[in-house]
Structure 1
Amino acid sequence: MSDPMRPRASLRTAVVWEVLQDALDRRVKATGRESLDVLDTGGGSGNFAVPVARLGHRVTVVDPSPNALFALERRAAEAGVAERVKGVQGDAHGLFDVAERGGYDVVLCHGVLEYVDDPAEGVRNAVAALRSEGVLSLLAAGLGGAVLARALAGHFKEARQALDDPNGRWGTGDPVPRRFTAEQLTGLVEGAGLRVGAVHGVRVFADLVPGVLVDTEPGALEALLKLEEAAAELPAFHSVATQLHVLGETAETAETGEAIETGGSAEA
């Protein structure tokens, strides 16, 4: 359920969190274990890792930044989940220098593919970290959202540059090295051997609405959040989302999920 007291910043993560929490719940039901092993690649200071740990799961965060890992440790301690959160320094390229291959029920790969040299390799490594039945949560910058934002700001040449650039960059000052379409992300997930379970557009409206409209109008934040949630699953809005979220599932997980929903057995 949506919490009307969520700060405006939560609009950036609300849709992803709802999808992720549902995926975790389904894996708990399928495995019969109350606690899952979760890997958060590029997890930084724990925006997702700490809430996941608060649900009772064990989370390993891999991030190249010592400062981010220090903040993660402090954040986990303040949340009372320090014993369930482990931070290790590393990156997607050398993932298995610091993480276990095939050792996780769920892998989060959020805000990573934009910065790696080879996105396909990054996804393959994330998938290789999954157990035979597992779920990948992939979040990356969307091309269409950047084009729309530059155009609405009056930077039409930069919008056209982003549209034509193979990496979706609007110029040399662009802080994001690479952006993706929904088709590109689902192609990477399927190319790594997973089934695409769901695609969501993230921050479809939130980055375009002036903050003053949300902060001063009673009930506006909750209304905007509900609008984001409603539009997230509609393919028509994926092309203008600031970020795109793809949920990938192993074949075994997909079969188990179908069995659970129909009340049957996972065995054929």
Structure 2
Amino acid sequence: MSQDQSSAPPAPSVPAAPEGPKAPAATGRGSGSRAQARTAVVWRVLREALDRRAKEGRSPRGPVLDVLDTGGGTGNFAVPIAALGHRVTVVDPSPDALFGLQRRAAEAGVAERVRGVQGDVHGLFEVVERGGYDVVLCHGVLEYVDDPADGVRNAVAALRPAGLLSLLAAGAGGAVLSRALAGHFTAARRALASPEGSWGGSDPMPRRFTPEQLSGLLTAEGLEISAVHGVRIFSDLVAGGLAEQEPGALDALLELEEAAAESPAFHAIAGQLHLLATRG
């Protein structure tokens, strides 16, 4: 399942070519888009991690990183990463998503740095090299796979020694809170009691995670977790229109999201959880 098929909103457009330290427009600040505010925290953290990795020069390509995006869909993260000058391979089961990826990469002027292959995380090494990547993205994937532990295991096995894994998954606590605030108390109670964080057959998300569950999946594979961030802590809870009622409100919402993202007190109620971890 690609990120485009999950509940994660689309990332914003990117410049046609990398421009040194200038980031693509995925920061969300000043963009006027509530959807961009929802993705801005992840992009900021990931961009900083990529910059550090590139400066360390551990990649065989020097400052150019080999990045694998499992379930990367139409390139919401892959294309901005390619715009920074890195080489990105996207694995996704959907031919339509991969076609959209090619079109988006071409429009951004980074087609030569983006490769799309059809497959999924369980059959990952049927289509990509084991141990061949400096960075692996596993965003919006674990919610849909039959065996999350196996999915993480394959993502880790795709990393080079000391490689970086970026994991983004739906948060169980955020779903409980959003259902309750919307007045769907039975659904909230079901999601709270469910080991999968799901409220039943009408729930479009098969599985959600607690921070402890995601951390456990990573440490079980010998990864060292360097950062945990709560994502969409407030954005999914603000009533439609409130964030657009006055100038600067969206930027203020983004600043609030960024301020709360690193606080463990808010991780349990985040709509999504983002973890960075390094392979030993």
TM-score using structure 1 length: 0.92
Pick from 56, 65, 69 the counterpart of residue 36 of structure 1. 65
Partner of 1:26: 52
SS at match of 1:211: coil
Once residues 34 and 250 of structure 1 are traced to their aligned partners in structure 2, the CA distance between those partners, rounded to angstroms, is: 19
Q: Are 1:217 and 2:241 an aligned pair?
A: no
Matched, 1:142 2:171: yes
Aligned with 1:133 (options 145, 157, 162):
162
Q: Check if 1:49 corresponds to 2:78.
A: yes
Residue correspondence of structure 1 range 243-258 to structure 2 within 5 A: 243-251=272-280
Pair 1:230 & 2:259 matched? yes
Is residue 75 of structure 2 the alignment partner of residue 71 of structure 1?
no
User: Which amino acid in the other structure matches residue 46 of structure 2?
Assistant: L
Check 1:55–1:6 CA distance in 2 against 1; reply closer, same or farther (3 A cut): farther
The residue that corresponds to 2:38 in the other structure is: 12
Q: Which runs of 5+ in 2 are unaligned?
A: 1-22
Deviations 1:182-207 (A, max 9, x none): 00001101111100000000000000
Counterpart secondary structure, 2:117: strand
2:205 maps to a residue whose letter is V
Deviation by residue 1:15-35 (Cα, 9 ceiling, x = unmatched) = 110110111011111116221
Distance 1:88 1:13 in 2: 25
Provide the alpha-carbon RMSD of the alignment.
1.1
Q: Kindly state the Cα deviation for residue 6 of structure 1 after the two structures are TM-superposed.
A: 4.9
Distance in 2 between residues matched to 1:163 and 1:7, nearest whole Å: 31
SS, match of residue 23 in structure 1: helix
**Whole-Å Cα distance in 1 between the matches of residues 51 and 32 of structure 2?**
22
Is the aligned partner of 1:114 residue 2:143?
A: yes
Partner residue of 1:124 out of 148, 153, 158: 153
Letter in 2 for 1:160: R
Q: Between Structure 1 and Structure 2, how many residues are aligned?
A: 251
Task: State the secondary structure of the residue aligned to 1:11.
Answer: helix
Code of the aligned partner of 1:222: D
- Mapping for residues 153-192 of structure 1, pairs under 5 Å: 153-192=182-221
Aligned-pair CA distance for 1:8: 1.6
Q: State the shift of 1:250 in Å.
A: 1.9
The one-letter amino acid of 1:28's match is A
Indicate the SS of the match to 1:249: strand
* Cα distance between partner residues in 2 of 1:87 and 1:246: 24
Q: Give, in whole Å, the separation in 2 of the partners of 1:190 and 1:44.
A: 27
Kindly, what percent of the aligned residue pairs are identical? 71
Between the aligned partners of 2:163 and 2:255, the Cα distance in structure 1 is 29
Distance in 2 of aligned mates of 1:174 and 1:129: 31
User: What CA distance in whole angstroms lies between the structure 2 residues aligned with 1:226 and 1:141?
Assistant: 21
Q: How does the TM-score come out when normalised to structure 2?
A: 0.88
One-letter amino acid of the counterpart of residue 194, structure 1 = L
Question: How far apart in 2 are the matches of 1:116 and 1:162?
Answer: 19
- Counterparts of 1:188 and 1:167, CA distance in 2: 14
Counterpart AA for 1:157: T
Question: Mind listing any 5+ residue stretches in structure 1 that lack a counterpart?
Answer: 252-268
